[in-house]
Amino acid sequence: MQKILGMGNAIVDVLIQIDNDLLLEQLGLPKGSMQLVDTNFIEKNVPVLEKYKKHMATGGSAANTISGLAKLGVATGFIGKIGEDEAGSFFKSDSLKSGINAHLQQSKNLSGQCLVLISPDGERTMCTFLGAACELTANDLSTGMFDGYHYFHIEGYLVQNHELIRQAVKLAKKAGLKVSIDLASYNVVEANLDFLREIISGYVDIVFANEEEAFALTGLEADKAVHEIAKVCDIAVVKVGKEGSHIKANGVSHRIEGITANCIDTTGAGDLFASGFLYGMTHQYPLDVCAKIGSIVAGNVVEVVGAKMEQNRWDRMRIALEKVI
């Protein structure tokens, strides 16, 4: 069986459902964005959020993808950095409980946390305190971490650390792994455009992007952006939310429809789409089937709060997957 290694920010998500979007304006947060915040932001605004219902879960884009793959039965590993605190212990124990081989480095500083503000329409706005998660460096990586894996999946939020990404993709390629990247957020793409283009064209085999990220990378709408991205990597995937996805590889294009879902929270939808797609890749299914699996997994996660689903939902999902495999 093929194995997948992920690398990303080891984050503990604090999911908060808000009544309306006025709170986002009050906090100065563009709806649907990912904003990096510091300790001062957390201390000032956490009291404002106390009245809202909260739920804690392990998070981070690549960690969500790897967790989904583990639930689908794929052998997985994850590279990240945590603090010696309650949040770090929670992240490590949850990973191990999920059967993930956790390559977690330790820091003396606080573990990363992400406040996920969920609007009534399901859109999520993220305030991320990276803490120890952003301390992962090129020196933390070793050749042995990549041994035995077939795919290496990176979250786009890490691209701000150019040295780390360069070292990671070089080690992955040296070990013979296929490299995939999820662009993660349009504002991160905009801030690292030249570097992303360099890394994708030189090392990346599979690119995952949503409409906004694809536009930030290419300046084109989704149906045209997928062709542009496919010029510099083997497989281009542009997700268009509930409408499904555009796929192109080896000159062949696919337009895959989404599934009908009762959306209450889009947190993790893109991450879990990647889980389904990469699951299909490990089984060498045709690309259109990989995308359909991605749509099924993503369509299920938007029906729950957060990026984690109960086992009974995964069990039902397997029945749905049998119909497209």
Looking at 104-210, list the stretches that DSSP marks H as alpha helix, in order from N- to C-terminal side: 162-174, 186-191, 193-203
pLDDT at 45: 83
User: Could you give the count of Cα atoms lying within 13 Å of 300 in the half-sphere of its Cβ?
Assistant: 24
Residue 135's pLDDT is what?
Answer: 95
Taking the CA atoms of 35, 201, 79 and 67 in sequence, report the sign of the dihedral they define. Answer: positive
CATH superfamily of 3-8+61-104+135-322: Ribokinase (3.40.1190.20)
The pLDDT of residue 205 = 98
Provide, for the chain, the percentages of residues in helix, strand and coil under a 3-state DSSP scheme, each rounded to the nearest 5: 45, 25, 30
Write down the pLDDT at residue 87: 84
Any bridge partners for residue 14, and if so which? 56, 115
pTM given for the model: 0.89
Q: Which amino acid is at 289?
A: V
**Tens of each residue's pLDDT in the chain, 325 residues:** 899 999 999 998 888 899 999 999 988 999 988 888 987 887 788 788 888 888 878 889 999 999 999 999 999 999 999 999 888 999 999 999 999 999 999 999 889 988 889 999 888 898 888 899 999 999 999 999 999 999 999 999 999 999 999 999 999 999 999 999 999 889 999 999 999 999 999 999 999 999 999 999 999 999 999 999 999 999 999 999 989 999 999 999 999 998 889 998 888 999 999 999 999 999 999 999 999 999 999 999 999 988 899 999 999 998 888 888 8
- Per-domain residue ranges of the chain: 3-8+61-104+135-322
pLDDT for residue 13: 83
What is the distance between the alpha carbons of residues 131 and 107, in angstroms, rounded to a whole number? 9
| DSSP helix/strand/coil, 94 | helix
> Quick one: three-class SS letters along 268-315?
CHHHHHHHHHHHHHHCCCCHHHHHHHHHHHHHHHCCCCCCCCCHHHHH
Q: What's residue 128's pLDDT? A: 85
Q: Are 76 and 6 in contact (CB under 8 A)?
A: yes
